[in-house]
Amino acid sequence: MTDRRRINGPPSDTRPAVFASSLKSTTGTASGRPQRQRQPNELRKIFLRTGLIPSASGSAYLEFEPSASLAAARSSPQSLIPPSSALKLACTVHGPKPLPRSATFSPNLVLTTHVKYAPFAARRRKGHVRDASERDLGVHLETALRGVVVAERWPKSGLDITITILEAEDDRWWGDAPDSHDAPWGMMNVLAGCITAASAAIADARIDCLDLVAGGVAALVSDESAEGEKSTPKLMLDTDPAEHRSILSACVVAYMPSRDEITEIWLKGDSSKVLLGPDDKRSGHDALIDGAVDAARGAHTVLAEAVRESAERFAGLATV
């Protein structure tokens, strides 16, 4: 029965009108693809700050520096849609706190991770209920952090880690065909950022850990020229999927530099038969893992500095 006391919305989803570009020629639209200005082993700058949410036991905010093409598009826009996006996310840690009486006895700390996209985080609007991709990110994040936290020091306790993604990485450039580049490459960058931010928030909550864990991403890229010819696959660190026409495979790792251990690894794509070149005798899988570890080492330097600032701020408050 229809509710007559209010105006009901449409029964199906509606999409607002989007004016994709103000350019009048297709060649101008094709030139709007962002181009990588960094070296293959050069990482984007990371902004990481802890202690931004006073109500939480620990918190962290992470943001990637936008690419040069995105910064130029924002300064002198030729299209209403930016060429690519930059990762922005916030992490909160609540606990350790006692488990409810209805819960079963646990001699170790019960870790719970919750990853949720904001409705406006991606080009395709997300719903309020977590979908399969968000649940997968939560499982990967829990696996990465479970090998870091010293869980036996908090029996019968729980730790809740919540990550809100304010802006996510794109899976492809918006000008590409929908079925040409739809693999979830952007999710791998999101997972690497979640791992780094969660490690900073856990350290800000003063929870004992074996080491700081950082996330890193590497990908094998074979970009096509304007004539459609594919180039030799190259190993790229910290890739932005919108900057490349063809990504063959990618890898994300959660790495602890002090212990030289990997707590989580996620490989996507087929890189077993990829030949990098005559000078590199490594297989595609080995090159991807080594590149992701190198990217994680670079993110660890920012993570260690943010944790050091958090410790100094905590020591200053304790003396007061």
**Is residue 209 within 8 Å of 150, Cβ to Cβ?**
yes
Q: What is the pTM of this model?
A: 0.84
Q: Say if 96 falls within a structural domain.
A: yes
Q: Which residues in 69-87 are b (16+ Cβ under 10 Å) and which e? A: bbeebeeeeebeebbbbbb
Residue 237 identity: L
Residue 272 identity: S
Please report, for the domain that includes residue 259, its CATH number.
Answer: 3.30.230.70
Q: What is the dihedral of CA 37, 295, 141, 148, to 10 degrees?
A: -160
The tens place of each residue's pLDDT in the chain, 320 residues long, gives 555 666 666 565 556 655 554 444 444 445 567 778 889 899 999 999 999 999 999 999 999 987 755 555 555 556 556 666 789 999 999 989 999 888 888 899 999 999 999 998 887 888 888 888 899 999 999 999 999 999 999 999 999 999 999 999 887 776 665 554 456 788 999 999 999 999 999 999 999 999 999 999 999 888 765 555 566 788 899 988 888 888 888 999 999 999 999 999 999 887 766 656 556 667 778 889 999 999 999 999 999 999 999 888 878 766 65
Q: What are phi and psi of 309, to 5 degrees?
A: -65, -35
Q: From edge to edge, which strands make up the β-sheet containing 234-237?
A: 234-237, 214-221, 247-256, 261-269
Q: Say if 260 falls within a structural domain.
A: yes
**pLDDT tens-digit map of 208-229:** 999 999 999 999 888 765 555 5
Domain count, the chain: 1
Q: Say if 274 falls within a structural domain.
A: yes
Q: From edge to edge, which strands make up the β-sheet containing 157-167?
A: 46-50, 58-64, 88-98, 157-167, 110-117
Within 13 A of 239's CA, how many CA atoms are on the CB side?
A: 33
Q: Say if 254 falls within a structural domain.
A: yes
Q: Say if 10 falls within a structural domain.
A: no
Give the structural domain span for 127. Answer: 41-72+80-173+181-315
Q: Say if 24 falls within a structural domain.
A: no
Q: Say if 8 falls within a structural domain.
A: no
Q: Say if 187 falls within a structural domain.
A: yes
In angstroms, what is the C-alpha Rg of the chain? 22
**pLDDT tens-digit map of 65-84:** 877 555 555 555 565 566 66
